[in-house]
Structure 1
Amino acid sequence: MRNVIKNARTAALTIILASGCFSSYAWAKETGITENGAAKPKAQQIEAAHHEATMLDDQGNVWYWGSMYKWFNGGMFPSPGIPQTVPGLDKVTHVSYGMLDALAVKEDGTVWSWGRGTVHKEDGVSGSYLLEALKIPKLDNIIKVSSSHYLNAALDKGGKLWIWGLPVSEKGRSTDDLEPKVVEKLDKIIDMAQSQQNNLTVLKEDGTVWTWDLKEKRGLEIPFVLSNSPTKVEGLTDVLKITSGANTQHQLALKKDGTVWAWGYNFYGQLGQEPNTGLNLETRTFARVDVPVQIDGLTDIIDISAGFDHSLALKKDGTVWLWGSLVESEKDSLPSRSQYTLPVQVKGLSDIRSVSSGNQFDAAIKEDGTVYMWGKNGLGQLGDGTDTFRADPTKVVFP
């Protein structure tokens, strides 16, 4: 099976190179400008997701790469492993990439979606891959979005939370769940985060953190959130930011004093503790840390990101730090891992402005707007036009 997948990736890349996509990439790499003479984009936001990445540039355009092949109506078609813009999107202010779809907020407060899954019936086959973004109805004055595995969320200017489901995430899901609805149980929200299958978490303007535990609520996430009040996360005050990801099972919080706190599952040491994969035979559940623990050795932190098996933190001095399980090398698609319960500095990075951790690959934006990525690259998620693993941060070149 591994050879079949590898051959498929190779065939997809061959088609991409033969089509001439690589010529634009080479031109940009050698000249420092795009093929039509325009200045190269500067990154404002980067999202390392499951097997792909998306970037918002300083002109309001959205770029994406990765998932070198995609399924459409039962067939496979190649997708470039180099950055390309999302058709129909401009004047964008925020993006989020989940397990099945991606979301973007425009300057006018509207929300747009592309990828697998949409609230629109006119897209054709449920589960088809949408190359062009479509507007999601009934959402206005939105400032931030979050895409996860089973539901999407949006935050409006008034501090209210909106949620809706994905049609491809659960057979039999009510069509009523696909329409965005406001959550009346909480207000004055300034940030939100989701982790795979487990939590929808929000940060209020008073620095407290609240969460809905969605474990074992598969297919019922929407009605559960709408009808139940969230639970306050104990031990967290003066929080500036919360983060998790569509493919993560843990969450992070950054406090005003520059410390980082983590909770959730700790299969890979991503909570800064020895990994715990213990199964409770009576409840048939895995051990989960519900009270946040402080990550030792981290001070003066200004940005955080939770990935699949590890986490990233950005210090005020522009250095990047990592803890959890790290794939250090790869041979014949077999990874070699190292475990870090204490944060270690990512070598080769300085003057960093923001970070994003994905599914065994990472991204960072420098102060000059350039993007660097490292880690697994089997589906072109590092944006360099190859499927070669990169242990060291490598600059992403935009065609």
Structure 2
Amino acid sequence: MDNVATITINDSPGSSQYALKMDGSLWAWGMNYRGRLGTGDDADHHIPTKIMDNVDAITTVKDCYSAYAIKKDGSLWAWGENTHGQLGTGDTTDRRSPVKVMDNVTAAAANDNLAYAVKKNGTLWAWGENTHGQLGTGDTTDRRSPVKVMDNVASITATSDHFAYAVKGDSSLWAWGNNSGRLGTGDNTDRHNPVKIMDNVDVITTNGSSTFAVKKDGTLWAWGWNLHGRLGVGDGSDRDSPVKVM
């Protein structure tokens, strides 16, 4: 196809592709189990099929059959699997076509069976599976509708292993959910509420096992699992707190 702005691929399980064109139209093709293409059916599509117009961003997650789109008017839409209420529609019914979830959204992220949204006023909202407290709501109860987690959030980073990070407007980094030494809290205890990790953070990235943060002064910090020396700290020992790399 022509005039494509971005492409998103969800290759597990199966393979589904989404393309956002320059005119804001969203197209999908590939595996369509539980309606994750948003085409209104469960049939696989062998050629791109138009889903909706006026889309600004698309979010999918590996190992999950759900997808999310933010329209240019700030509305958030979801479709696909909804076993844990991860679509935010107030129930557990799968949706084969996009359904509106909320308004005034600037960013969205998702991981296994849950999703997060940052609103224009900086509030962070979460919904879906909450087995390890990964919603940040202070408990382990699943939520079928969006619940407010915290204020003054600039960005949200979700992982595929039930934990998340948020950078606030003051550049402080916060984490919560499944730990196993990967949150950077100095221990292995799961957190059901956001916990502050460090200050002056500019960029963060994670693969679900190891996490890296670039501070505003240009220093690089790492923590989490260190198999094969992936943290860059000179050995193969895991780190449960941030360590300066370079």
Q: TM-score category by the smaller chain?
A: 0.7 to 0.9
Residues 348-393 of structure 1, C-alpha deviations (whole Å, 9 max, x = no match): x332223334424323233355543311223554355754211222
1:361 to 210, 222, 225: 210
**Residue 338 of structure 1 pairs with residue 179 of structure 2:** no
Q: Is the alpha carbon distance of 1:304 and 1:146 closer, same or farther for their aligned partners in structure 2, counting shifts above 3 Å? A: farther
Counterpart residue type for residue 72 of structure 2: E
Counterpart residue type for residue 194 of structure 1: T
SS in 2 for 1:197: coil
- Provide the residue aligned with 1:378 in structure 2: 227
Residues 290-349 of structure 1, C-alpha deviations (whole Å, 9 max, x = no match): 211111xx22110111122211110111110111122238xxxxxx63122221100xx3
TM-score, scaled to structure 1: 0.47
CA contact 1:159–1:190 (8 Å) conserved in 2:
yes
SS in 1 for 2:69: strand
- Provide the residue aligned with 1:206 in structure 2: 73
Which structure's residues are more often helix, by fraction? 1
Residues 96-136 of structure 1, C-alpha deviations (whole Å, 9 max, x = no match): xxxxxxxxxxxxxxxxxxxxxxxxxxxxxxxxxxxxxxxxx
- Provide the residue aligned with 2:144 in structure 1: 290
- Provide the residue aligned with 1:352 in structure 2: 201
- Provide the residue aligned with 1:250 in structure 2: 114
CA contact 1:192–1:203 (8 Å) conserved in 2:
yes
**Residue 317 of structure 1 pairs with residue 185 of structure 2:** no
Q: CA–CA distance in 1 between the matches of 2:158 and 2:128?
A: 11
Q: CA–CA distance in 2 between the matches of 1:367 and 1:154?
A: 33
- Provide the residue aligned with 2:238 in structure 1: 389
**Residue 302 of structure 1 pairs with residue 151 of structure 2:** no
CA contact 1:192–1:201 (8 Å) conserved in 2:
yes
Q: CA–CA distance in 2 between the matches of 1:145 and 1:383?
A: 30
User: Which stretch shows the higher mean deviation, 151-160 or 310-319?
Assistant: 151-160
**Residue 238 of structure 1 pairs with residue 90 of structure 2:** no
1:165 is displaced (CA, Å) by 4.2
CA contact 2:74–2:105 (8 Å) conserved in 1:
yes
- Provide the residue aligned with 2:25 in structure 1: 160
Counterpart residue type for residue 71 of structure 2: K
- Provide the residue aligned with 2:86 in structure 1: none
Counterpart residue type for residue 145 of structure 1: T
**Residue 270 of structure 1 pairs with residue 124 of structure 2:** no
SS in 1 for 2:227: coil
CA contact 1:327–1:360 (8 Å) conserved in 2:
no
Q: CA–CA distance in 2 between the matches of 1:239 and 1:202?
A: 10
Residues 254-293 of structure 1, C-alpha deviations (whole Å, 9 max, x = no match): 01111101111111101123224xxxxxxxxxxx522111
- Please tell me the root mean square deviation across aligned C-alpha atoms, in Å: 3.0
Q: Is the alpha carbon distance of 1:256 and 1:152 closer, same or farther for their aligned partners in structure 2, counting shifts above 3 Å? A: same
CA contact 1:304–1:355 (8 Å) conserved in 2:
no
Quick check: which has more Rg, 1 or 2? Answer: 1
Residues 26-62 of structure 1, C-alpha deviations (whole Å, 9 max, x = no match): xxxxxxxxxxxxxxxxxxxxxxxxxxxxxxxxxxxxx
Structure with larger RCO (C-alpha < 8 A, sep 6+): 1
Q: CA–CA distance in 2 between the matches of 1:396 and 1:141?
A: 38
CA contact 1:309–1:360 (8 Å) conserved in 2:
no
- Provide the residue aligned with 1:187 in structure 2: 53
1:259 to 114, 123, 126: 123
Counterpart residue type for residue 143 of structure 1: T
Q: Is the alpha carbon distance of 1:256 and 1:389 closer, same or farther for their aligned partners in structure 2, counting shifts above 3 Å? A: same
Counterpart residue type for residue 149 of structure 1: S
Q: CA–CA distance in 2 between the matches of 1:153 and 1:387?
A: 38
Which structure's residues are more often strand, by fraction? 2
Aligned residue runs from structure 1 range 60-79, under 5 A: none
Aligned residue runs from structure 1 range 82-101, under 5 A: none
Counterpart residue type for residue 373 of structure 1: A
**Identity level (%):** 28
Q: Is the alpha carbon distance of 1:154 and 1:355 closer, same or farther for their aligned partners in structure 2, counting shifts above 3 Å? A: farther
